[in-house]
Structure 1
Amino acid sequence: MNRSLYKSAISLIFLSGPLAAIGQAVPAATANVTSNVPSYGIQQGGTLNYSLGASETIITGYNGNGGTANSTNIFGRASLVTSNETRPTSLIYSGGYIFSEIPGQPSSTFHNLGLSQVLATKHWNFVLSDLVSYLPSSQTTGISGIAGTGDVGTSATGPVLGQGVLTYYATRIVNTASGSVEGKITSSTAIETSVSYGIQRFINSQGIDNSQYTGTIGPQHRINERNSIGANYTYSRFSYGSNPYTTTSKFDFVAQGGNLTYEHLFSRRLSTNVSIGPQWTRSSNGSSLPSHLSFAANTSLNYLGKLSHAALVYYRGTDAGSGVLLGAVSDDVGLLYQQTLDPNWSVGLSGNYARTSGVLAYNTGKSKSNTFYGGIQLTRKLGHDFAVYGSYNAQNQRINNIAGFQNAFNGLTQIFGFGIIYSPQSIRIGRH
């Protein structure tokens, strides 16, 4: 098994989602960000990283009021990558407790867990993964998804895309299980196929529960060391339970299309991926969702250096609607960046902008949202095992004709966070 595949497997749950959805070729480099905030980009095989921390956040503008509120947070994170090059296992966890004084948002726990398993043979590569989260509100930044907990510039899924419309307090469980198989036809050509199943379930009916099934299959051809091309067919089905929008008790629709893909390595550290093609959306309930043709796109620019990593991603396509809409079309741009400034200082940056429109006949062209969320964090090491940080996050959303009882966030919220983190050096496991 070659090194680039091994590193790609290691990064599966750390830089997955849109970054890996079109067969990203990871450059042969290893991120080694010397910060007390663990870097959950590419991680060396045979290592365990963990950290514990506490923070205080000050929040302005929540629930549409001009006042301020605060919360105290305790949290922990851990990541593990085994050293087996043909069967690497990856695990990442982030969780904690929020002691909240925010109006309308009680104290609560939050949890995120990601697992992946790779099996590589001479002609076949198999990957299984699962990402599950339990969050009190929409995921916005970092591995935790909770602003102010010290992980701006790191993420379990790269820039958070397909999020669409943000909500106020609405505890939800999100789980996505996926599997992929790559079979070599020749030394330069392979067939790749993948399937995934995702659910979003809201506690106390504070959003629209939904499920998504997706399958993709197509050939990939390596032209040379720097260029690869391919094509694939993608089929997705979105399903919903009882809802207030249609005359039937249940509703589902299908989006499918063909895509052309292109991958290019500018250098060992800089790469790009492009996937674009037509997308056909249809439903058995044509009066609610008329069939229509649009286009889908998934592009990324990725940099992985010794002291920094960055990703810029654009996504366009049909999604489940974020628990606010019964299906949506989103244009989404995301940025993720982390940089070590010197042995003691590091900076993290993340940002996302999404324009979302409902797909149902009654709200197409009417129910829209423009959403921005992002943050910046400065971290200072204190000795070998401790660090302090300060962060600023903002969430700004403007909505039009989205039912108020669907809990859609509207307005500007700013979050200032200050905290301390204990994070010892990586622990070597397995072979040395």
Structure 2
Amino acid sequence: MSYKNISHSNQSFNLTKSIINQQIGIQLSSSSQYITKGKSKLLFIIDYQYIDWRKYFKDKKIFADYDIHIEQAEFKEINLSAYSNNGILININIYRNGIHIVRSFRPDFVLVRQYVKDANEDWINIILGMQYGAVPSVNTMRALYNFRDKPWVFAELLKIQRRLGVEQFPLINQAYYPNYRKMFVSPPFPSVIKIGQAHQGLGKIIINNHYDYHELTSLIEMSKCYSTIEPFIYGQCDIYIQKIGHNYKAFKRKSLSDNWKANIGSVVIEQIELTERYRLWIDEVSQIFGGLDICAVEIVQSHDGQEFIIDVNDCTMQLVGETYEDDYQSIAKLIIHKMEIYCRPNQELTTVTRISSFDELKEIAQNKPFHDFSNENIQQTSHTIHTEDTFSNLKKAFNEFFSNMLS
């Protein structure tokens, strides 16, 4: 067969493959298409698609001449495989603007902004795979795993309170029940019962008397979830403290809809002064689970001025107030700073994601050598494997077809 005939066959095959892609609505692409054009590192962001993270990293570079390429997907669009000796391979299967896109790549760094576990979702298997593949991230995969259940987090807050004292760390009183069978003693009323793991006001209810309480325990029996009970605080407002790297903010949040949940319905949010007391609380929380680079503390302020810490959040926290765009920029700066430490080219990695505290990064950079997993080379092969798996039978059929036709 002449070279001309081979070229014609390849062109025919590529044309047919393109037509099939259009018919079934799938676009296959690879990170190697942009990696080979120059030096770059790949940042994988797990977040809802209504946030476009590319604009916050536009024209940003690390190591002076390395571009930052962004891949973004939601947990439901992700699959992966992790190898003890070869890192992690991410596969995303997404729909954007009516196009079905399939991509495979190996991330150099990961930012998680979507809840790992919520009322009806649990993506902990993805976190396990990323930890298995030793991919550096914000927050660390260890921290994300530990935030899977709120009672587990509350236990860490109790450790802080025992060390600092109730006055210095006023954590709300709480009772934990693994199931409904131990809930035969009615709590003081009114109380708030939280069932299972949920966010943004879900899974919470006020109980005003023992009749309502015993009715609710039957629902907890059906749900087969753990629950916590804490006293209801007649609050005049909520206080929300957040920390992004070295950037601190405090907000006052008050409901306009007379809802006891200050994050439900219409609310007024006002940025307030970050007091030393608030700074102490957020700094203490940021040290749990090996260190949190992004976190928030929620406080309820009663009508007599008392404050009670009721919840903490990790890097999946909400950004509140009118300065949220500045917060996105702060997260981007934090990620760039950490990528320049954890994604250094041609050096040996020894700590991976085990040390995450932002305050420790300078010490790590000075004392610890780092290794680049040569993701550029791996990325170039990952798409080839993916494409051959997808079209192997089709390609074989077309080769036999053209061979018979040309002969």
**Fold agreement, TM-score > 0.5:** no
TM-score of the two chains, using structure 2 as the length reference: 0.26
TM-score of the two chains, using structure 1 as the length reference: 0.25
**Per residue, is there more helix in 1 or in 2?**
2
